[in-house]
Amino acid sequence: MSKVLIVDDDLGIQKQLKWSLSDFDVVFADNRESAITQLRRHEPAVITLDLGLPPDPANASEGLKVLEEVLMLAPYTKVIVVTGNNDKTHALQAIELGAYDFYQKPIDSDTIKILISRALYVSSLERENRRLALSRQHLGPIIGVSESIQNVSRRVEKIAKTDISTLLLGESGTGKEVFARLIHEGSSRVDKPFVAINCASIPENLLESELFGYEKGAFTGANKTTLGKIETAQGGTLFLDEIGDMPISLQAKMLRFLQERVIERVGGRSEISVDIRVICATHRDIQTMVSHESFREDLFYRIGEIIINIPPLRDRESDVLLLAKTFLKQYTHDYGSKVKGFSDSAMAAMLHYQWPGNIRELQNKLKSAVILAEGTIIHADDLSIMPGNEDEVLEVFNLRSVRAEAESRAIRRAFTQADKNMSKTAALLGVTRPTLYTLLDKYHLDDLKNNA
């Protein structure tokens, strides 16, 4: 049952609503501080908010402040503001700030019940729409709604249905193997093997036999014929991780295999046909390696028919919080921990931290924090990273700030593309010239006006 929060300092009204709203799961608050506490604790779908809160019940300013803070922290919450009789000005002001509806005293139980029921219904519809939208955006286990990771997911989804050779580029810990598995699982080869080998973890003198296999007697200790990773992936997908570390001496043999789709085992003389898809990955700057001739140019073009750059965690905006909450749920279950969530300082610290080790580092720090945390809330100290500014957490949920930043960027790009011509800029943006000047003033883009 969805929670309903009643914010009102009148105990009589609280008792009246507690009785009349017995069909709902209701919690109460009587001032600004308790309202925010209850919001964080219960995450109510609907709030009724009396604008006349202490310290000055005759003035709606405190109630409007609560409204702004609620919508900053939980923008999808439906807030029904309750005003004094004939106080239409503040009611309209609240609607302008983002309130869902308003109701004027005196309280009528039947009417307020209908308003809450309708708000809960709208809230449930919107929540389901968001869930469906996110389910369409997510590809398998990929967690994130940032534009950068969604672009990668869409590309992966498109190429999965083909057999095109794919090169995944990205820093260590960004999840290159996860994406490689997703490509395999989205292909027609899904019921065949997915075989992974890390080219950097196997000594140079052993890598060839690991990949291509060897015949009995090919070298000392070769007591039987052994299949290599390429043959064991027959019909499926071979994932060559850290191919940038493949010895130059082995690259020619790998190129021939990719071109001809045949191999020869070490010590063998016969050619063996192989039908597999090849996906490669590396954290190295492989194009620079090509220019320095430490990686074959022809092999680079063969493995990189499609190149996908996987963004580091620091470039994925607030995805770090989505990942952290997902991992927290998993680790608290795995380790039998009573940890329930993160403090604001911990969330701010995670947003502020650069994550040089990417998702792997985030996982390691969360495991440690879940095991060692003293209480039920993880703080920045538990994560062993510097605390950030808690305002950064609020900014993530401030839709006005996000919209302002996006619109400012769009205006600047259009201005540049239009060669600093205001009329062309307005046309590119699909607005009138006066509207454009209004936006320039709104977002303080004086430098554009001066350079027009």
Decide if pLDDT at 216 tops 70.
yes
Q: What is the pLDDT of residue 414?
A: 85
CATH of the domain at 223: 3.40.50.300
* 141 belongs to a structural domain: no
Decide if pLDDT at 390 tops 70.
no
CATH of the domain at 346: 1.10.8.60
Average pLDDT, integer, range 370-383: 89
Decide if pLDDT at 131 tops 70.
no
pLDDT bucket at 132, cuts 50 / 70 / 90: low
* 140 belongs to a structural domain: no
Looking at the structure, do residues 276 and 365 belong to the same domain, yes or no? no
Q: What is the pLDDT of residue 193?
A: 95
Q: What is the pLDDT of residue 135?
A: 47
Looking at the structure, do residues 243 and 334 belong to the same domain, yes or no? no
Position with higher pLDDT, 131 vs 161? 161
Looking at the structure, do residues 157 and 285 belong to the same domain, yes or no? yes
Looking at the structure, do residues 37 and 114 belong to the same domain, yes or no? yes
CATH of the domain at 75: 3.40.50.2300
Looking at the structure, do residues 319 and 296 belong to the same domain, yes or no? no
Looking at the structure, do residues 250 and 355 belong to the same domain, yes or no? no
User: Which residue among 396, 416, 437 closes a domain?
Assistant: 396
Q: Which of 54-63, 225-234, 287-296, 302-311 has the lowest mean pLDDT?
A: 54-63
Average pLDDT, integer, range 180-195: 94
Q: What is the pLDDT of residue 140?
A: 52
Position with higher pLDDT, 408 vs 291? 291
Mean pLDDT of the chain: 87
Position with higher pLDDT, 251 vs 416? 251
* 130 belongs to a structural domain: yes
Looking at the structure, do residues 274 and 415 belong to the same domain, yes or no? no
Position with higher pLDDT, 417 vs 284? 284
pLDDT bucket at 138, cuts 50 / 70 / 90: very low
**Percent of the chain topping pLDDT 70:** 93
Please write the tens of the pLDDT for every residue from 106-130.
888 889 999 999 999 898 888 877 6
* 11 belongs to a structural domain: yes
**Model's pTM, two decimal places?**
0.59
Q: Which of 49-58, 154-163, 179-188, 202-211 has the lowest mean pLDDT?
A: 49-58
pLDDT bucket at 399, cuts 50 / 70 / 90: low
Q: How many distinct structural domains can be found in the chain?
A: 4
pLDDT bucket at 401, cuts 50 / 70 / 90: low
Q: What is the pLDDT of residue 406?
A: 79
Domain region containing 92: 3-134
Looking at the structure, do residues 392 and 403 belong to the same domain, yes or no? no
pLDDT bucket at 137, cuts 50 / 70 / 90: very low
User: Which residue among 369, 396, 423 closes a domain?
Assistant: 396
Decide if pLDDT at 265 tops 80.
yes
Decide if pLDDT at 397 tops 80.
no
* 228 belongs to a structural domain: yes
Q: What is the pLDDT of residue 139?
A: 45
Looking at the structure, do residues 333 and 390 belong to the same domain, yes or no? yes
Looking at the structure, do residues 104 and 23 belong to the same domain, yes or no? yes
pLDDT bucket at 307, cuts 50 / 70 / 90: very high
Sign of CA dihedral 303, 308, 309, 311: negative
* 330 belongs to a structural domain: yes
Decide if pLDDT at 26 tops 90.
yes
Decide if pLDDT at 391 tops 80.
no
User: Which residue among 309, 341, 370 closes a domain?
Assistant: 309
Looking at the structure, do residues 151 and 74 belong to the same domain, yes or no? no
Looking at the structure, do residues 168 and 293 belong to the same domain, yes or no? yes
* 54 belongs to a structural domain: yes
* 139 belongs to a structural domain: no
